[in-house]
Structure 1
Amino acid sequence: MKWGQGNMEGSKITYAVVKAGETWGDLATRYEVSIEELKKWNRGVSDVEAGDLVKVVQEPPHFAHRRRAHYVLGFYTGPMGATMPGSQGTLERQADKLSAIAPYYFDIDRNNPGRIKARVSPQLIKETIRDAHQRGVKVLASIHNTDKNPNISATEALHSILRAHRMPFFNNLFALLNEYGFDGINLDFEHLRPGDKRLFTDFVRDLAQRAHAKNYTITVNVLGDVAKTPYSLDFDYPGLAESVDHLGIMTYDQYRPTQAEPGPVAGLPWVLGTIQAALNEGVPPEKILLGIGVYGYDWTVGQSNPRALSHSAVEALRRRENATVQFHPTHKVPFFTYTDSKGRQHEVWYEDARSIALKLDLVRRHKLAGILLWRLGLEDPSAWGVIQAKLAPII
């Protein structure tokens, strides 16, 4: 190695030999730099092959303390079927790389406006919080509007709280936080009634003021889609960001289970476009958590409702079908195909450490606050080394 001069003064320049099968993304992960930075210093090189010599420019070790700290929030659940394991194992193994978890434990009660309904027992809630705190991980009470009720829709139930039952909801929420010892709030309301955008922003502003007065943090999740459909138009991104600690932009699913066309959970250009749209609307980058879906879908070609899979289930399926993984040149995510015993064609699209690394490069390049993972337990285990390399220090 040698030390650069001029505008690279103080930077370490390494000449790396490309290993068999390595890509720009692999090199970026190995040296903790972005793909764009690598290509900048290796102009004219479109693809790398084994044995190539690649120039890598890194910050020297004594600059490490100047690296931006990042926030890593992971949704936490129990098992959701054979192909969707629970989150506890990841919490146990990766607590040092987590800022907080948001257990998927609470819904608004559609039968009792303003009340909050627990999905699990009080004992499990207490155990989860105690275990996370012992590991140095904070816990946010995550409130959803996904509970099923044939008599009232999620949209109308939320509208009722915003319009007529705000104070009962606030009182019940803060009682919940105090009873169990939560560290903050995560609101995950995905369906707004047309015309409720400003009302929801005002609701969140009111809640955030009350939360901050009691030293609770607050994160609000919004659906992200560069195409602005179907629900991202519901949300006033910059208005919400003004009052909350973090705005979690959920960049998943790009190809939705309700459609019959297979495709990625979140292709890189689509994610980039969503981030850029939020920044263009005036959302401060230091407020944004990039939502990353770490699961996959097994699509039967021509049919909707693909089977959701964890990374471990994807790998088991790939081995069983002896399938060859490809990395899509545009979407920058892995996928493979196979034919089932009935002769039906399948496409399996998912995320791995390599595709997640490219999304983390966006976090660093655009100076975002960090990431939001749906959900712990579904991810490629190798992704945690990438998260550590790209986002440390994690606060």
Structure 2
Amino acid sequence: MDHASVSRIRTGLTLLLAAVTLAAATPAAVGATSPVPSPAHGAADPDGTRRTGSAWLPYWGDTEEAFQDALQHADQLHTVSPFWYEASAATVKSHPGAGSIRMIDGLHEAGIKVVPTVTETLAADEMADLMHDPERRTAHVDALMELVQSRAYDGLDLDYERMAVTGDSAARDRVRTGYNALAKDLCARLHARGKQCVITVMARARGNGKAFDYEELGKVADRIRIMGYDLHWAGGEAGPLSATDWYEDFLRYATDTIPRNRIEVSFPGYGWDWTTGVKARAHHLTWKEADALRRQEGVGYHFDDASGTPYFTYQKGGRTHEVWYQDARGVRAHMPLLEKYGVQGTGLWALGFEDPDTWAALRGE
């Protein structure tokens, strides 16, 4: 048989295979609006590992340590979200180090998807106006799509918090409905390109998180990441960042409104240092910094069984400091709540912050 005949046969087989592939793919592709299936939530990878976790990688601090932390625990991580971008009306700003090809390639080589996080700068009123204006909303989504195509990214994580804590209740009502429209548009366009759409939300419990419509967002996003922290925050009174009964509250609501396999609960690897009697914001501490401070001040380790979090107090400059944070023991206290509500997805804020034993706690050990 001559080369021309072999070439014709190969060409015919190639066309036949393409036709079969297209026919199989077309019914699911035409008019598809459902999220792209994710390998997360307990699905076994080809190497036999079970990756149920995601984690954020901060752009400040020791980013190399955070990167190596991800690689060291790749067998548990399906996704890493570098905290690299900030969106305004129709532009996206890069933080220092954003788009590092070395890190993107390194995470991919470890079998980890790279889904960078985008925050927003606009307050509730401005953001609501933008999202309810089809033309401005499209421009905003265009900027996000340009970003996701700028590198070998696997999707985007929207962590839009400022709009959820500013303005009055009426503004946040408009934010909620507008965000539904924005998420629907963005997720559809991401899915059309085979990219993941992840939405990070505040816990819906005790009057908080009302700017996020769990039910509608859960219909369009691949994953809804619930921030299981800042029950007490830097600008408020001292107290635990998370608590067992609080987890019960928001997990009950979340699992009533979002498919369980799309939920991730993110645990804190940090804490806050409040100064008693002072209205200034609390000082942020990673677990490593909190533990080092406790040892430096020579104070004992205390664990609050009611909340499931550690704490300690110390004296400085004639004032009492109260530190609440989270460690592996606390994560172990809260993991049974995820099991109770059938949630396998976990997250961590943030890489390089955490008690090293947290990884075993997230495995249920």
TM-score tier after normalising by the smaller chain length: 0.7 to 0.9
Q: What is the alpha-carbon distance in structure 2 between the residues aligned to residue 121 and residue 263 of structure 1?
A: 34
**Which residue pairs with 1:96 in the alignment?**
75
**Which residue pairs with 2:358 in the alignment?**
383
Amino acid aligned to 1:72: G
Aligned counterpart for 1:78 among listed residues 25, 42, 59: 59
Q: Which is bigger in relative contact order (C-alpha 8 A, separation at least 6)?
A: 1
**Which residue pairs with 1:131 in the alignment?**
106
Aligned counterpart for 1:169 among listed residues 130, 134, 140: 140
Amino acid aligned to 1:159: A
Retained in 2: the 8 A contact 1:337–1:348? Answer: yes
Retained in 1: the 8 A contact 2:69–2:352? Answer: yes
Q: How much has 1:294 moved relative to structure 2? A: 1.5
Give the SS at the match of 1:233.
coil
Amino acid aligned to 1:360: M
| Structure 1 segment 1-395 matched on structure 2, within 5 A | 71-80=52-61, 87-109=66-88, 113-121=89-97, 124-146=99-121, 153-162=122-131, 163=133, 164-190=135-161, 191-192=163-164, 193-194=171-172, 195-229=174-208, 232-259=209-236, 261-280=237-256, 282-304=257-279, 305-340=281-316, 342-389=317-364
Retained in 1: the 8 A contact 2:59–2:84? Answer: no
Q: How much has 1:337 moved relative to structure 2? A: 1.4
Q: How much has 1:159 moved relative to structure 2? A: 3.1
Retained in 2: the 8 A contact 1:225–1:251? Answer: no
Give the SS at the match of 1:189.
coil
Give the SS at the match of 2:231.
coil
Retained in 2: the 8 A contact 1:78–1:88? Answer: no
Deviations 1:22-69 (A, max 9, x none): xxxxxxxxxxxxxxxxxxxxxxxxxxxxxxxxxxxxxxxxxxxxxx96
Q: How much has 1:205 moved relative to structure 2? A: 1.4
Deviations 1:133-163 (A, max 9, x none): 12211100211014xxxxxx43345335412
Q: How much has 1:80 moved relative to structure 2? A: 3.6
Give the SS at the match of 1:203.
helix
Q: How much has 1:222 moved relative to structure 2? A: 1.0
Moved over 6 A (4+): none
Deviations 1:174-224 (A, max 9, x none): 222222010011011111443231221122112212211211111101111
Q: What is the alpha-carbon distance in structure 2 between the residues aligned to residue 120 and residue 339 of structure 1?
A: 36
Give the SS at the match of 2:140.
helix
How many residues align structurally? Answer: 307
Amino acid aligned to 1:358: A
Give the SS at the match of 2:363.
helix
Retained in 2: the 8 A contact 1:85–1:378? Answer: no
Q: How much has 1:85 moved relative to structure 2? A: 9.1
Deviations 1:264-289 (A, max 9, x none): 11112112211112234x22222211
Amino acid aligned to 2:123: A
Retained in 1: the 8 A contact 2:80–2:112? Answer: yes
Question: What is the root-mean-square deviation in Å for CA atoms of aligned residues?
Answer: 2.3
Q: What is the alpha-carbon distance in structure 1 between the residues aligned to residue 312 and residue 199 of structure 2?
A: 34
How does the TM-score come out when normalised to structure 2? 0.78
Q: What is the alpha-carbon distance in structure 2 between the residues aligned to residue 85 and residue 271 of structure 1?
A: 32
Cα 1:134–1:160, aligned 2, differ >3 Å: closer, same or farther? farther
Amino acid aligned to 1:107: E
Gaps of 5+ in 1: 1-67, 147-152, 391-395
Deviations 1:220-254 (A, max 9, x none): 0111141123xx11111111001111111112211
